[in-house]
Structure 1
Amino acid sequence: MAALDPFSVPVVDVPFSDCPVVGVMSAAWLPPGVHPALAGKPFFPARPDKRPAVPEWRPFADRLPTEKEIAAWKNHTGPWGMPCGPLSFVAVDFDGPGGKKFYEEKFGNGTGLPPTAMTPSGGYHAFFEYPKDERIIRLLKNAVRILPDVDLRVEGGYVIIPTDDSPDRCWLQTPDIPAPPLPDWIIDALRKQAAPQAVPEEQAGSYDGLPPRVNKGERNKMTSIYAGRYLARGLSAEETATILVAWNKRNPEPLPEDEIRRTVFSIAKREAAKTPSVELFDSSELTGLMPEEKGKIIEPFFPIGGKAFLAAWQGSYKSTMMLNWAVCINNNLPIFERFNTIKGRVLYIDRENPIHLVNERIERISRGLRGLRGGIKFDFPKAKPDLADRRVREAYIRTIEKGKFDFVIFDSFLCFFNLRNENDNTEVRNVLELVGEIPARTGAAILFLDHAPKPTADKIRAGIKVTPRGAGAKGDWADLVVTLEERVDEARTLRTLRFNKTRFTAPMPAMIVEVRPDLVMVPSGFDEICPVFTVRQTIEDNPGIPAGKLYDLLTARTGASRRTAMRATARAVELQMIHREETGRGVTFSPRLVTTAHVTNDEETKNDDKYRLLFQ
């Protein structure tokens, strides 16, 4: 079985016996002759004169080529262009005498040598990691001469990559080492280039409250910057234009006045479009504004396209419960014999459990539920996929869309993220916002299994046993949060399922489920859904109540089905908690008669020492 890379998500059915992996997607594409370490980077064909050999190369800076595009390039042998940017690198071009000398001074001793390609002119293309700091990203731009004979290629630029067939290009340092961060001396050069070039003070004239004068090369940029600042302070477009026209006249080489005014009014129009508008609706119009109802993948608490967490301690059968859900959804069966499901396609991505264990569990559960296991797809990635990485998310999004999956399970949360601190709500919230892209784009509901921490003394006193780590962020993000707790019982394997959050329905009571020997999870007893104590209390409140009316009341009070209400009533009769009486008009129920000589609730009504007790 192939391990997961950012561009290939293996999706398989687990067979009955030896569990081979089938249906693996093709690996990341690599142009012929390109170094294998660059697999997964974006490429496009180029001409010998370095111009693109495709009508438009810029889309490949944001995505990988499709299979159709790759097939169209099958006869192209090179050269190959690589777009610079977040999917690849920042490329620094050291060319000309000054650039070559600069490179050799910085890296000549071989210390910290970045991946470097030699160009036909004898220069160097050095590759650095694309920065993650937004402050540095804002400085990046394709530029020439940021230092003497040193150019920069970032998003919007590209470079030609050496291949086995290119005699005039070769690797000085192969790219099979991690690209280092952008050096401080390049960042300093970018900051210096971005700083406005003010006129020397002796040329500035007397202070008059206007911005400092600037030279010719800075006029347009500083006009836009100053216009934005004045408009942000609440000045009108006309007031801003008046100020900047006066400032422009003080510059050594002023721009035309109409150009200053056009720039100001264009920025004002663009900023006005960003201003949020307040739109009011009458309450009678709200029905027509509602989006189309998507329905629930599990009635009534889990919507199609929803986001969920299941938290539990290790060994709490949480993976087993998710396999129960997967089989039920795959076969349109009710979960726990109570919650109806849609018939949907399920993808289970498992980094926790070995294949043979999953195979045994799903085989027993499928037989126990009398459902088909075929159609449930599994992915067992060997390498840890980081869903915070855009390329990994795109790979799963493509897989979900291609397989038309309705429900995707990730087992478990920490196996899919590289977090510094899993209890840091801010860090967890940031990665979850990125993952929200998966259900938003595919329409599939997703659920993360999560290991819960041991409860603190305060939580135990408050009756809280299980919560997800980083619970605040996960609870805010999810539409559904459920926890599974162990419940001690000598005869049966019981678990308490708590609905901590149900965004799309009223708060739901906890339920106790039993894990049968075939691993099917069912309510532990009819009295757990419709307690016999509720049956008795209902009859005590309504002595002599007809059977039909009793079942209706129990259904309304507990949410149980009519059949469950009937069985709970029969169980209460069996436990001698209530009295069942058949009359010519039907069946009625009343509180149980108890024989006693010591306890009475009616001292005046006697019948051979038998007293009717309403409360036992």
Structure 2
Amino acid sequence: MTQHAPERRASTSQTRLLDAALRAARNRWHVHPLRPGQKSPALHGERTCPRTGECQDGHRKWEDRATTDPARIRRAWAAGPFNIGIATGPSNLLVVDLDVPKDKGSSDAPDGATSFKALCERADHRWPRTYTVRTPSGGLHLYFWVWLPERLPCTAGTLAPHIDTRAWGGNIVAAGSTTPEGTYTVVTDLPPASLPYWLLELLHTPPKPPATPAAPRLVAPGCATPRAKAALARETAEVEATAEGGRNARLLAGARAMGRFVAWGEVRRDQVELAFQAAGEAAGLSAAECRATIRSALDWSIRTCRPREAA
């Protein structure tokens, strides 16, 4: 009985992964096997191509051999407990990969989800409701249908820090796959939404990196109301006093709190940006982190604040 236990576990794993591959194929997603417990394709590469079968007229890479055919999928997964890859291009998908920094536990750098939320706010749109998978590292994969005559390429970090996209030439690990870190799990089980127009525009014209700001200067007296000055002094002091691990969140909250004063004309935006930039850097954040967080926070706050009479 003890001898056969490992075989039963392998069979259970293969069945579970086969079921996950077939589910993906029913969604019209082209799947291919990945190495067991890994994220790399299990199909042979060009160097080891036997030039037989599908490759008899020349090597066909995994993107060309990915399939939705249940019979082919069953034959492939009968050979082992392969993880499931989805060839995003042939599947008419664009998947937004929101990553988590490897050193997130000791860094205040924004993760992919935070960066994507800022992109949504700048575009004045809500976070899209679409099919979503959580990765073992805590990241997210957002699936979108793409029906375009053009072939969108993959991107890596061009939209914002820790945001990649997978389209033509790209492979994404499907839900149900397992690595030593854990399992890819569905967290929003909805049909993929169509790729938002605002996101397509960003893919065509990625945002330019912010220009390096001028050296901080003192705020000229008389350019802000007394209560705006007091609020700015209070918020920036709290940012400077915040310990590692909460600095970016405190900077975001402080800048958002000041956005209403900018919208009401009680203080100039450049004064607020310079003050928070200095406070954030004094707390130990990088200049780039400060700029991105402050800009996103003020944009959101100015856009959403209530009129002064209603506050």
Question: Do they superpose with TM above 0.5?
Answer: no
TM-score bucket (shorter structure)? 0.3 to 0.5
Larger Rg: 1
Between Structure 1 and Structure 2, the one with more helix by share is 2
TM-score (norm 1): 0.23
Between Structure 1 and Structure 2, the one with more strand by share is 1
TM-score (norm 2): 0.44
